[in-house]
Structure 1
Amino acid sequence: MKRRPFFGARLDDFVTRHLGSALRRAGWRPRIVPFTGLGTPSRVRVLGQLVLGPARRHRAWPIGSPLWLNRRGWRNFFTVPVPNGVISVTISGRAHRFTTDRRGHLDTTIDTPGLAAGWHQVRLDSPGAEQVGAPVQVIGDDQDFGIISDIDDTIISTSLPRPLVAAWNSFIQPEVNRQAVPGMARMYRQLLAGRPDAPVVYVSTGPWTALPFLTRFMDRHGFPPGPMLLTDLGPTTTRWLRSGCAHKRAALVQLAHAFPHIRWVLVGDNGQHDQALYREFAAVRGSRVRAIAIRTLSPTEQVLAHGTVGGLDTRSSRRGRRRVPEVLGADGQALAPVLLAVLREQQHSATGPDQPTDPGH
């Protein structure tokens, strides 16, 4: 006998359905929000969301203008999804038809034999919506280096998951006031020196509705572009709140499965559970991990993040775990020299003392 969805999900669906009907009567129409996808020359993952928006959209403020930079964060979070909507994805001249989930999301993989490595645009269409392009990064089968990075308190100071502080930072603060963690963008650029096609995948428990803000933030502070794997606010079919750990754990497994030839540098912080999750991943797939880099929060940041002065308990079983280097530092300026030295030593060991090494590596 099939179980009914969790009450919270049914309530959420009820509100979405009736709010959507009211907004459609007021003239709102479907709108496609494209996310950045990723894949290999033979298979790509396409991401996006179908939401409702006003039929006549207001003139956008120029990006970088005072009005734009001082817009409040709450504008990033309020959307009305279109569940069970139809989105057509056109890639390599072929159209594929899909149905969105209960939160309006499209998350699908498409076979694309012979697609060249690099950045591509796929076309997204939906009845009544304006056609949009979605970027997709295709990673070549010869690529063996990549970065998986957390976002909250790793590259941007958010003080999550303390609810009141997080709400203030996310909803009230103007975008221009959000601070990047010093040195992290420069560290990522250093890691990618000599590896222009290596991927950077940002994995976070933040909501998909924050994606436009995060894209602008990363561009403003010089972070390399890359796909973001975020999650969704609201209840699931089994519980009131989504598990951030489960989301990150699943994302790591998916990336390891999709790109078995890549050895990743895992970057996170000790304000949540990144260190334990990365150690757990390394215990099972140590051959896929080059190094773990953990940003150590200050005592004040620790209190804001989880209410205690010390970091979260990061102990995990190490039985049978391959030795994966771990480096710790307060920011990118402290992490970069140690992490780069670790990677240079790995490269030296792999090529041998008598073999020339690529100075970019």
Structure 2
Amino acid sequence: MIEQEAPTEGRRTGAHIAAVIEDRIIAVVGRLLHRTAGWVPRIDAYTCFGTPRRVRVLGRVLLGPRRIGSGPPRPVQRGFRSFLTLPEPGHRVVVTVGDTVVETVSDRAGYIDVEVDVPPEAPLHPGWQGATLRTATGAEARAGLLVIGDDVRLGVVSDIDDTAMITAVPQLLVAAWNMLWVRAAARRAVRGMPALYGRIAAAHPDAPFVYLSSGAWNTARTLRRFLARHGFPPGPLLLTDFGPTDTGWFRSGRVHKTTSLRRLMATFPRIRWVLIGDDGQADPEIYAAAAKTHPEQVVAIGIRTLTRTERVIATAGAAKDDAPTNRPTRPTSPPRPDVPTVVGRDGDDLAAGLESVPHLLAP
């Protein structure tokens, strides 16, 4: 068994006061709920992905009532149930991928994010595999693991909010309603988006779809159900966590997306990505910057243009660095002459524009 070093966050100094207060509240409330209400550690396993030789395993250790921690999840539930938990920091977790076993520790928010190296003499087979996460108290979860072969040359990175799913993030009141009360079955897909993604998947059966959003990890289960219900290709989610960090009161969605894209391109240097988002927040600028930095790894950019009302809702309450700096709904210029940028009101419009990209929507 390989033991990973404990996250440095647990030993950090000079952290933002909000993060220090949050850590202390979690510690006190966690002990109280464990002793008086019988809350127990459980683990949420998120979809994992990687190469045949190295995979990224994602999950979260949480404290929750026994009725949440045991038994199969309800097929449809309101979003607020996903928040009836408490992070369990510093909890040891054993990760198993094939015959490789790694031990790691959850960070200050309970998250597990570890890269597992597979023996070179026994690489993983491309396609869907599995990983197991087991806590020190015996709770266990099985995660889907997408192994992306070395011969794959095309992939899709997609935003979710207002790109795949009609929503209203980050307007605070509407976002809270969507996350905490609206059932997964009641959420609506943006017209034409499932069909567009289906065409790309049909033309490129091995293409990975990565759903990159500034939404909270607490909504991962609801988002997976939404994507499956509306026929979107399955794929890993890359979400973030609300609340304070070591440097500020809230996490930056722009930084999350930028660093996630950079890491994806470093992990899969041979893949060229189709980047799809919307102009309600900073997607056009983030994707343009990625195309300028990694022009050989971006095949096209697709931007859904929100209506005036959608745009006002989407930008109200956004963090300053997450709001778009361009007010026009259409980019004033492409990120690079050789990276086509297509804009449209929905998936049908984007599909029409992407027809001009060679071999994207047809083999």
Q: Which amino acid aligns with 2:249?
A: W
Structure 1, residues 183-202: CA drift from partner, whole Å, max 9, x if none? Answer: 10110010111322210001
Tell me what 1:79 maps to: 85
Q: Distance in 1 between matches of 2:71 and 2:267?
A: 40
Is residue 275–residue 314 contact of structure 1 (8 Å, CA) maintained in 2?
no
Q: Distance in 1 between matches of 2:311 and 2:67?
A: 45
Give the unaligned 5+ runs of structure 2: 1-11, 318-322
Tell me what 1:324 maps to: 339
Q: Distance in 1 between matches of 2:138 and 2:231?
A: 32
Matched, 1:110 2:116: yes
Is residue 184–residue 225 contact of structure 2 (8 Å, CA) maintained in 1?
no
Structure 1 runs (4+) greater than 6 angstroms displaced: 315-320
Structure 1, residues 274-323: CA drift from partner, whole Å, max 9, x if none? Answer: 00000011011111000000000011111111249xx9434999899453
Q: Distance in 2 between matches of 1:188 and 1:103?
A: 33
Match of 1:313 among 322, 325, 328: 325
TM-score (norm 2): 0.88
Displacement of 1:77 in angstroms is 2.7
TM-score (norm 1): 0.88
Match of 1:277 among 286, 297, 304: 286
Matched, 1:128 2:141: no
SS at match of 1:260: coil
Alpha carbons of structure 1 residues 73 and 321: separation in structure 2 relative to 1, 3 Å:
same
Tell me what 2:50 maps to: 39
Alpha carbons of structure 1 residues 210 and 195: separation in structure 2 relative to 1, 3 Å:
same
Q: Distance in 1 between matches of 2:306 and 2:131?
A: 39
Is residue 32–residue 129 contact of structure 1 (8 Å, CA) maintained in 2?
no
Is residue 51–residue 80 contact of structure 1 (8 Å, CA) maintained in 2?
yes
Is residue 52–residue 148 contact of structure 2 (8 Å, CA) maintained in 1?
yes
Q: Which amino acid aligns with 1:245?
A: R
Q: Distance in 1 between matches of 2:263 and 2:337?
A: 20
Displacement of 1:60 in angstroms is 5.5
What are the equivalent positions in structure 2 for 1:1-361 lying under 5 Å apart? 3-25=13-35, 26-57=37-68, 63=75, 68=76, 71-112=77-118, 113=120, 114-307=123-316, 312-314=324-326, 321=336, 323-344=338-359, 360-361=362-363
Question: How many aligned residue pairs are there?
Answer: 339
Q: Distance in 2 between matches of 1:8 and 1:307?
A: 24
Alpha carbons of structure 1 residues 318 and 329: separation in structure 2 relative to 1, 3 Å:
closer
Displacement of 1:98 in angstroms is 0.3
Q: Distance in 1 between matches of 2:333 and 2:311?
A: 25
Q: Distance in 1 between matches of 2:111 and 2:324?
A: 32
Is residue 273–residue 299 contact of structure 2 (8 Å, CA) maintained in 1?
yes
Is residue 334–residue 340 contact of structure 2 (8 Å, CA) maintained in 1?
no
Displacement of 1:79 in angstroms is 2.0
Q: Percent identity?
A: 43
Alpha carbons of structure 1 residues 130 and 154: separation in structure 2 relative to 1, 3 Å:
same
Displacement of 1:337 in angstroms is 2.1
SS at match of 1:137: strand
Displacement of 1:168 in angstroms is 2.2
Query: Alignment RMSD, CA only?
Result: 2.2
Structure 1, residues 112-142: CA drift from partner, whole Å, max 9, x if none? Answer: 1311111111111112232221111110111
